[in-house]
Amino acid sequence: MKFALVIPDGVADETQPVLGGRTPLQAAHIPFMDEVARSGIVGRADHVPASMPSGSDVGTMSLFGYDPLEYHTGRAPIEAAAQGIELGALDWAIRCNLVTVEDGRMASFTAEQIPNDLARSLIELLQRDQCGDEHWKFYAGVSYRNLLVYRAREVAAPFGPRTHTVPPHDITDQPIAPHLPSGPGSELLRDLMERSKPVIAGSKANQARAAAGTHTATQTWLWGQGQRPSFKSFQERFGKRGAVITAVDLLRGMGRLLGWNVVEVAGATGYLDTDYAAKGRAAIEVLKQGQTDFIVVHVEATDEASHEGNAAAKVKALEEIDRHIVGPLHEYLKSQGEYRLLVCPDHPTFLRTKTHSHGYVPFTMCGTGISPDQLTTYDEITAAESTVCLDRGCELVPLLFRDA
């Protein structure tokens, strides 16, 4: 039997006045997701424990069947795995966003989707600034998403469980001062963030982008710190060979830590302009090759639209996922034999707040051995009517694999 999971990141939302009092899932034309709902079941799952910050690091870990209360150590170490960065037992990885701060406020947590080449050049300048320090090492990632590693050199690092940092996407348009790092080692993080300002300001390429009227980078923002996690492989845990298609380092890292094949797709950007159709074709091709039992297709676009507070873009991204990924993938799965298909986001991301949130997300699942319920559409309101409600979201994948 073949299994597939499609993740429209952060798609769960509230009703929107601009959408006629509907959620984006209700407003979008998503016939293929609704077909999954009609031919299977609809339910709710909570992937982010109340005691943990809401984000894709926690949400996807739960969505893949691993209890984040047991396995989660931080977001950055997962992204480090994506880049093949080995962490020692005492080392720490820290997420390094390139951001725009104006008048003391977080104007853009992405430096307005800073181009890869400019971002890489800024990370190189930041590393040059730290050349005399044996502990710090910057690593360029994709666009604004970069990493900083603290090499402990066999001496305990200054950070710990009480070191507190805040994701910059949670404070869009807000003053940054109340949200600066605090707790053990935080003075080092704050110092690095402060030192980044003149380094970034000195970049002629960055100056040119600012002169063109773009919210370009003004400093780094450090957050998501953690140490090397330890996972039991997905195949050992569930007996399935996995693969993941994503444009986001976090999901690449999670895939590698779980022993999955990480499939790179040309045109996958992690933003609204991603090539949805290419992702759909790649998912089918991976299954055709016969080396994968469980394919995961992750799409970041819906989450990005929420962070921008753009309801129309969120609806459009949803419709693209439905048309180019869920539809073709479901047709292929039906044609090849026994299968199960699951559609589920990792967490809610509200257009109103532009931030990740806690709470239940809707899922829909169909396929071999799954008896249809009476629910016929895939959305938050319908899911709230379901009797299937998982308080521990990590139980959803075991439900997908049950009796298969």
pLDDT on residue 53: 87
Q: Where in the chain is the domain with CATH 3.40.720.10?
A: 2-72+230-401
Architecture of domain 2-72+230-401: 3-Layer(aba) Sandwich (3.40)
Q: Which residues of the chain have pLDDT under 50?
A: none
What pLDDT digit, counting tens, does each position of 150-204 carry?
A: 999 988 999 999 999 999 998 999 999 999 999 999 999 999 999 999 999 999 9
pLDDT score, position 229: 87
Q: What is the pLDDT of residue 112?
A: 94
Residue 319's pLDDT is what?
98
Rg (CA), the chain: 21
